Chains A and B, each alone.
Chain A
Amino acid sequence: MSDLEQFRQETRSWLEENCPASMRTPSKGFDDLYNGGRNPEIDHPDQKIWCDRMAARGWTVPHWPKEYGGGGLDKDELKILRQEMAAITARSPLDSFGISMLGPALLQFGTEEQKLEHLPKIARGEIRWCQGYSEPNAGSDLASLATKAEDKGDHYLINGQKIWTSYADKADWIFCLVRTDNSGSKHEGISFVLFDMASPGVTTRPIKLISGSSPFCETFFDNVKAYKTNLIGEEGKGWAIAKYLLTHEREMISGFGAAPKKSVGQMALETMGSDASGRLANGVLRQTIAQYQLDTLVFGATMARVGDEAKAGQGLGAASSIFKYYGTELNKRRNELNLAALGEQALGWDGDEYRGGVISRDWLRSKGNSIEGGTSEVQLNIIAKRVLGLPDA
């Protein structure tokens, strides 16, 4: 038996023994994913058991090095683990910004000490992180951020405000962009620091969105201490780290462009019926749906092509710059088509007959996809300038 085959057998029997039955059902959505933290939100006691068992093997972050709490798996082993988990429909044991955003940045830019301090706690789900980027006057123009960090010897004193901080009210720590220097260009003088959200002077206030609720908060800093041991990279050079992290965020958001399980065309057929030739009864809607489904197929082909090119060592080509823009625009189109295809059913806001208004709330929430993580217009600016080489105004 080959090493990989042996790994598969062992993985299979370990999962069989250790994955609780309740964790072998698909999660209902974002809300019942397990995010860890000092005071984890637990819908089911098995969530924590499952996370702890996986973390003990390093499998909450199977591709991270072992010394930082990861599983140290190579590409083939990782693939096997994912296949075996999928085979029993095992849930992801832990989903967090620590894993998807801060972790990759720390692995790239952190000191050995910082990695050893923070990564294992992320891997074990002990600390939940939030991202302090946007400010009331620094949205698309993120680099004009003004939250001030004053040098006080072994620490910075932080004053200012962040906005659109996802889960700030639930997070334990924050990775935050602050201004340590005002004298140079706006991209210089930005630093990337980590600090505890339980520190004196931190307050958060949730923001209610047009979709009814939201993970977003306003976050205020009033003389908050951030220790210099938690400055990532050099002082004033945080913009490079911020950008690196944003590419991870954009990849995550562009996943929204994937095709839904039941096609919009099928859904419309069920609600509106077809004509004698089998075509959807309303020809206008049929065309719009066909255009959407075509673009979804073609977008999927592009994701596959860029993935194959990267595997072939050609790096992420220019095509990857379109992912965030195109993926989020597609998701907005899909949500509009849900309304068009389902009619009254999709307009429900509350009540069991509308499944709590899930369709209308998703539709409203999707409007934010092309704003957060860099608006569509910012993405188009990036393509025009960096890819096409068109000059600044």
Chain B
Amino acid sequence: MALVLNEEQAMLKEAAAGFLAEKASIKQLRELRDSGSEQGFSSDVWGEMAQMGWAGIAIAEEFGGLGYGYTGLGLVLEQAGRNLSASPLQSTVLVAATLIAELGSQEQKQKLLPAIAAGELLATLALQEGGHHAPLQTAASAVRDGDGFVINGGKLMVLDATSAATFIVIARSGGTAGDEQGLSAFLVDAGADGLKVEQRSLVDSRNVGALILDNVRVSSANLLGAEGQAWPGLSRTLDIANIGLAAELLGLSAEAFERTVAYLKERKQFGRVIGSFQGLQHRAAELFAELELGRSIVLQALHAVDDGQADLALMASAAKAKLCEVAQRASNEAIQMHGGIGMTDEYDIGFFIKRARVAQHTFGDYNYHLDRFAQLNGF
């Protein structure tokens, strides 16, 4: 697939840019934060997104989706990054729907995917347990009990935790920490006995929570995929999730950069605009180069998903590592080049660095993915 947008994709990108700038802007994020919203996004705006088909953008048409593929979803996520739009696009559309499509039985897919595509069901992955993304270290346990399983453990960084109706909990039904074998995925209802959902407040003001699973019983029908065999589908889902997050980080970084360049052209010191100083010009030019590189790898990685390329894992870690690096630099430079005003809460630029670090951390940061990139390259 050529590394250019086709007409349909270009239109989608434009539509997303227009809608999100109007309905899910930084202004709205600020209002949600200041009003202490627990949900962290607007249900009305999410309803409109679903009406436009975004909730099912990457879901196959046979399950009620648009079948636009992940390149389409990536374009929307990029625009969401630009506007810092809060919505369940990441938790439900990018991650949960993908994992269900990867692991679910025909029956499970028929039940869950159309509901997600219609914007009626919010679902989310419960995976991380410690301070870092380390999926194979999963210690939450799932023990067979009669017709079902009993799950025990704790989960962190669960996106949209307090809004989700369904959790996909990863637990170990066999093997030991570090093993790919033995990981299972379970559908757990938000109201299940023994499940406690706690809201957590992170720097980006999004809806993130923790789960405590205390003897939560689920039936075998709630097993997503074969017992102990969740890893291949989960691993592929995490690759796709990281490519989607890289797309969001691209939009976020590009917007922070463009705002910064605009500020360099307007702020005057020593009798001239600070953008005329070579010390700042070269840093801006280097950042521009890094952003252009980031744009290329995101597009190539999104195509790798849609084309079913065999090197998906490598492309995912390359895209996420590169965009973590770009976003870190773009958001740090944004604050520094804005100077004092960049440190104030009243000015919007600070929202970019906050969301950047959470998105960078989610499903593995720069260190995780650069290490994995090296391993996948054989060293």
Using a CB–CB cutoff of 8 Å, the interface residues on chain A facing chain B are: 263, 265-266, 268-269, 274, 278-280, 286-287, 289-291, 293-295, 297-299, 301-302, 304-305, 308-309, 311-312, 314, 318-319, 322, 325-326, 377, 379-381, 383-385, 387-393
Contact = CB atoms under 8 A, between A and B. Distances in A.
Contacts of B378: 263, 265-266, 269, 278
A24 to B, nearest CB: 32
A391 B288 CA distance: 16
Given A266-B378, A311-B2, A377-B282, A393 B293 contact: no
B52 interface: no
Given A294-B321, A308-B2, A289 B282 contact: no
Contacts of A299: 293
The B interface, classified by DSSP as helix, strand, loop or mixed, is helix
Contacts of B300: 301, 304-305
A390 B370 contact: no
B68 to A, nearest CB: 20
A377 B2 CA distance: 32
Contact of A302 (B276, B280, B296, B318): B296
Contacts of B277: 393
Contact of B284 (A274, A304, A325, A384): A384
B147 interface: no
B370 A291 contact: yes
Interface of B: 2-4, 261, 264-265, 272-273, 275-278, 280-282, 284-286, 288-289, 292-297, 299-300, 318, 321-322, 370-371, 373-375, 377-379
A309 B3 contact: yes
A392 B289 CA distance: 20
Main secondary structure on chain A at its contact with chain B? Answer: helix
A274 B378 CA distance: 10
Considering the complex of A and B, which 8 residue pairs feature the smallest CB-CB distances, nearest first? A384-B281, A265-B379, A383-B285, A301-B296, A302-B296, A322-B289, A305-B3, A290-B374
B359 to A, nearest CB: 19
B284 A390 contact: yes
Contacts of B373: 290, 293-294
A286 B293 contact: no
Contact of B3 (A298, A308, A389): A308
B268 to A, nearest CB: 11
A363 B264 CA distance: 38
A387 B285 CA distance: 9
A388 B261 contact: yes
Given A294-B318, A377-B282, A381-B285, 12 more contacts: A278-B379, A279-B379, A290-B370, A293-B373, A294-B373, A298-B318, A305-B295, A311-B2, A312-B2, A383-B289, A384-B285, A391-B275
A182 B23 CA distance: 59
Contacts of B282: 377, 380-381, 384
Nearest to A303: B296
Nearest to A318: B292
A268 B276 contact: no
B367 to A, nearest CB: 9
A98 to B, nearest CB: 32
Contacts of A392: 276
A314 B277 CA distance: 32
Contacts of B2: 308, 311-312
Contact of B293 (A298, A309, A391): A298
A14 to B, nearest CB: 32
B285 A380 contact: yes
Contacts of B296: 298, 301-302, 304-305, 319
A265 B374 contact: yes
Contacts of A380: 281-282, 285-286
B375 to A, nearest CB: 7
A266 B376 CA distance: 12
A314 B229 CA distance: 46
